[in-house]
Amino acid sequence: MNLSLFKQTIKTPNRIPIHGTIAANFEPVKAAFIRNFTQYNEVGAACCIYHKGEKVVDLWGGYRDAAMQHQWEEDTMVGVFSTTKGISALCLAMLHSRGLLDYDQTVAHYWHEFAQNGKQHITVRQLMAHQAGLALVKEPLRAKLIADKPKLAQYLAAQKPAWYPGTLQGYHAWTIGWYISELIHRIDPKKRYLNHFLQEEICQPLGIEFHIGLHDAVAPNKVADLIPINTADIFGKDVVMPVRFWASFLNKTSMPRQSMVGLRMITRDRQYLNSPKFRQLELGAGNGIGSARAVAAIYNEFVTGGKILGINPQTINELEHHPHYTTALKFDQVLKIEAHFSLGLAKPSKDLRFSPCPEAYGTFGAGGSGGFADPCNQIALGYTLNRMGASLTLDPRLKYILDALKECI
């Protein structure tokens, strides 16, 4: 693969530095990446793409802080919100690959206490498709409870579904990560929780760095600061924010509001995003911290057959399968859009068109990050950034990258 290495300073008022490597026929992606800085006020970002197992795009640029004093480096990591969900789901897939998990078995089979309050028949597949009715918590959870895993498990096991499981779909914005972590703990012979399992079973074998719960050994200057959404951005011409979601979210008792605001610190401190207290929590649904390179590498391993991790072909077939959706399951009760989920991962849908390949799978984070695998074209992509956008679905900046990628393949 012929890769060109470059270092470039873009002529903008802030003279944005761009670095990386790019394969010759993927130059349109580089152009789109640069355009995000010159036209869409990108502050810091990174993009990594694999094609047929080869890394063809590895770009990073801009700054890791709002004041634009510190450059985004090759190994800079950043919070990726719901892009984390895909990584968490692939951890659970590793247990399926080893014959320790059956997606069609009940959750209570592995976690007996889960059977409380009418949850005894919920299958792992239903839970991971956001169909279990467990999107809500009675009140935003405190960090102390989240950090106490045995107590958190008791709290989760006692929850009552908001609808009859399997009849509706509603995005489990925060809760899905906690359920995944406890399932891993119950099934894993070593009784590890999510982040411990991720480090030993995926990150170390692949030689990458991605954390769900940042430990003290990671230098603070290695992690970019997230820049909160500017309220004015919500009304931008390229922003996708359905009126029905926004109208519902403004109601404090609505399902979207209660599902999205699942953490106590969200309701009290707008700067929680960059606090050590938040970064150190294990939130498998939303506080993963890593690089675009790490996200792409994980999806590349799965989309190319999983030889390094020894992934069972049956597991890969499960991830690529696009289940049939009933009318009730096409409309998400939380997101208020048409979105499809399978095994914890988003599938291409009417309102989330990240790939023309129906077998594709991935997740996308609040603010604009994303990662996915496209088996039809043997593509794996990771995109990270620190200036958060306001779109509910694909951020315009990521969409420009995807449009450019289509030209290349």
Q: For position 270, what pLDDT does the model report?
A: 61
Give the orientation angle of helix 175-187 with respect to helix 83-97, to 10 degrees: 20
In whole angstroms, what is the distance from residue 116 CA to residue 194 CA? 23
Domain 76-88+205-381 belongs to what topology?
Beta-lactamase (3.40.710)
Nearest CA-CA partner of 367 in 342, 341, 396: 396
**Mean per-residue pLDDT, 328-355:** 93
Q: For position 333, what pLDDT does the model report?
A: 93
In which residue are the tokens 């399902």 written?
Answer: 255
Give yes or no for residue 239 having a pLDDT over 80: no
Q: For position 170, what pLDDT does the model report?
A: 96
Give yes or no for residue 233 having a pLDDT over 80: no
**Mean per-residue pLDDT, 157-176:** 96
Q: How many CA atoms lie within 13 A of 188 on its CB side?
A: 21
| pLDDT, tens digit, 9 for 90 and up, residues 249-274 | 788 888 888 888 777 766 555 677 89
Domain spans of the chain?
A: 76-88+205-381
29 contacts 47 by C-beta, under 8 angstroms: yes
Q: For position 6, what pLDDT does the model report?
A: 81
pLDDT tier, 153 (very low <50, low <70, confident <90, very high otherwise): very high
pLDDT tier, 90 (very low <50, low <70, confident <90, very high otherwise): very high
Q: For position 269, what pLDDT does the model report?
A: 56
In whole angstroms, what is the distance from residue 304 CA to residue 344 CA? 20
Q: For position 267, what pLDDT does the model report?
A: 55
**Mean per-residue pLDDT, 380-389:** 96
In whole angstroms, what is the distance from residue 33 CA to residue 44 CA? 11
Residues 372-387: b if buried by 16+ CB within 10 A, e if exposed: bbbbebbbbbbbbbbb
pLDDT tier, 1 (very low <50, low <70, confident <90, very high otherwise): low
